[in-house]
Homo-oligomer: A and B are copies of this chain.
Amino acid sequence: MAPPDLSKIFDTIEYPDAYRITYLGNAIVMPAYDAVQRDFGLVRAEYILLVCLSHYEELTAQDVARIARRPRNTISRAVHRMLKEGHLERAPDPNDGRQARLRITPSGRALHEEIATYLLRRQEEVLSVLSADERRILSGILQKAALHAATLD
Contact = CB atoms under 8 A, between A and B. Distances in A.
Q: How large is the interface on A (under 10, 10 to 19, 20 to 34, 35 or more residues)?
A: 35 or more
B96 A58 contact: no
A8 B12 CA distance: 36
Interface in A119-153: 119-120, 122-123, 125-130, 134-135, 137-139, 141-150, 152-153
Interface string A94-120: 011001010000000000010010011
A26 interface: yes
A127 to B, nearest CB: 6
A80 interface: no
Instruction: Pick from A15, A147, A152 the residue with the most CB of B within 10 Å.
Output: A15
B149 A141 contact: no
